[in-house]
Amino acid sequence: MEKREKIESIKNMNRMQEKRENPSTIYSAENLTIGYQDGKKQFIVHKNLSLDIPSGQLISLLGPNGAGKSTLLRTLSGAQMPLGGMLTIGGKDLHTISAKKRSMIISVVLTDRTQIGGLTLYELVALGRQPHTGFFGRLSKKDDAIIEQALQDVGMTALKNRYVAQLSDGERQKGMIAKALVQESPLILLDEPTAFLDIVSRIEIISLLHQLAHKKNRTILLSTHDIEQALILSDQLWLLRPDKGLVCGTTEDILLNGDMDTLFDNKKILFDTNHGTYYPRITHEKEISLRCENNILAHWTINALNRCGYRVNVNNEFLPMIIAEDKHHFKLKTAQQEWQLTSFEELVKSIFILH
């Protein structure tokens, strides 16, 4: 009990120190070099990374496969030594903090294979209390209350007595997040928490993380490939690019600075700033004109025409023209002829006839 109080007071001291130094940054790295050490050989993944993690925000780390997202997260979590540079958390060098205290400052959700099918959800979440419990891991009433609260925060109270094996992938991931919550660490790092999940679970998980950051004041850094959802709910985006290093910033700044185009080193992929998605570049050999009043209809008509190899010009009377009135009324006009079309299927078929 005394020991626990001592650790508690150290945590509070850390918080106070942070506040004096910099009110919003809880974790920072300077000139960080990440990579692997094998004997004397070093495999450097990234050099000279500098970053600040502001408190209470949701940060999404984006980057292509192999860019080093997992390596960066492992280094930040303390699981892997940096090859150079300085990691400072709460005013202290991360690697001078004991493993036990570190486990109360940083918690992780990983993609590792586990053997937890034979535990109940409650027992899984309770594992997160290990840094706080005594030698045999016995749970106190306070521990039980914290676990119940975390289960409620992730919306899984009803399932607490189910075996983990009986949970869906999304529910399991929420269980892991609850495990991280009961560690009571200010910082949570998640390595691709939405991988292998269906779209509903993906959106649920990222909304949950957003809520935890804003309502429970946890600082959350996750790596993800779900760019669309990340753009909507992340306070910050971190783009980790294989050769050009890391760019960090508030989501909208990153978007409108054109940084998104530098994320993937591939000329065939473009970022659509209007819609916040990446799309494949399609080469258009042919041109066609479109007249349409309805924005949504116009968007999808352009989509269909692009796919068929047409660049769309608006109201150019020297080109064949499509007039879209609604989704069942299209007209295709050329200098010689005019067709009435009642669906996209007919539209797509008939523009092939043009050539």
**Rama region for 86: left / alpha / beta (φ>0; ψ in -120 to 50; rest):** beta
Name residues contacting another protein, limited to 168-197 (CB under 8 A). Answer: 183
What mask of x and - would describe binding to another protein in positions 262 to 281, judged by CB under 8 A? --------------------
The single residue among 75, 77, 224, 234 that binds another protein, judged by CB under 8 A, is 77
DSSP, collapsed to helix, strand or coil, labels residue 261 as: helix
DSSP, collapsed to helix, strand or coil, labels residue 313 as: strand
Q: Does 79 bind another protein (CB under 8 A)?
A: yes
Measured distance CA(92)–CA(94) in Å, rounded: 6
Per the DSSP assignment, residues forming a β-bridge with 187 are 106, 219
Nearer to another protein, 80 or 157 (CB): 80
Nearer to another protein, 99 or 296 (CB): 99
What mask of x and - would describe binding to another protein in positions 312 to 351, judged by CB under 8 A? ----------------------------------------
The answer for residues whose C-beta is within 8 angstroms of residue 310's C-beta and 6 or more apart is: 284, 286, 287, 288, 351
Name residues contacting another protein, limited to 47-76 (CB under 8 A). Answer: 74
Q: What are phi and psi of 165, to 5 degrees?
A: -60, -25
- Say if residue 234 is exposed, middle or buried (CB neighbours under 10 Å; 0-12, 13-18, 19+): buried
Handedness of CA 303, 304, 305, 307 (dihedral sign): positive
Nearer to another protein, 184 or 259 (CB): 184
**In the complex, least distance from residue 118 CB atom to another protein, rounded to whole angstroms:** 3
- Cα–Cα nearest to 306, from 334, 272, 335: 272
**In the complex, least distance from residue 70 CB atom to another protein, rounded to whole angstroms:** 11
Nearer to another protein, 135 or 352 (CB): 135
Residue 226, token pair as written in the block: 């779900």
For 163, which DSSP code?
B
Q: Does 81 bind another protein (CB under 8 A)?
A: no
Which residue stretches of the chain are H helix? 2-21, 69-77, 99-102, 121-127, 141-153, 169-182, 199-215, 227-233, 251-256, 295-307, 344-353
**In the complex, least distance from residue 135 CB atom to another protein, rounded to whole angstroms:** 7
- Cα–Cα nearest to 128, from 161, 192, 175, 186: 175
C-beta separation of 315 from 289 below 8 A: yes
**In the complex, least distance from residue 214 CB atom to another protein, rounded to whole angstroms:** 24
Q: How open is the CA angle 209-173-139, to the nearest 5 degrees?
A: 95
**In the complex, least distance from residue 178 CB atom to another protein, rounded to whole angstroms:** 13
Q: Does 165 bind another protein (CB under 8 A)?
A: yes
Nearer to another protein, 102 or 202 (CB): 102
Name residues contacting another protein, limited to 89-148 (CB under 8 A). Answer: 99-100, 102-104, 106-108, 110, 112-120, 123, 127-128, 130-131, 133, 135-137
**In the complex, least distance from residue 71 CB atom to another protein, rounded to whole angstroms:** 13
Q: How many residues bind another protein (CB under 8 A)?
A: 35
Nearer to another protein, 137 or 258 (CB): 137
**In the complex, least distance from residue 195 CB atom to another protein, rounded to whole angstroms:** 16
Q: Does 38 bind another protein (CB under 8 A)?
A: no
**In the complex, least distance from residue 137 CB atom to another protein, rounded to whole angstroms:** 4
Nearer to another protein, 39 or 118 (CB): 118
Helix axes 295-307, 344-353, angle to 10 degrees: 40
Nearer to another protein, 129 or 241 (CB): 129
Which residue stretches of 22-167 are H helix? 69-77, 99-102, 121-127, 141-153
Binding site for another protein (CB under 8 A): 74, 77, 79, 99-100, 102-104, 106-108, 110, 112-120, 123, 127-128, 130-131, 133, 135-137, 163-166, 183
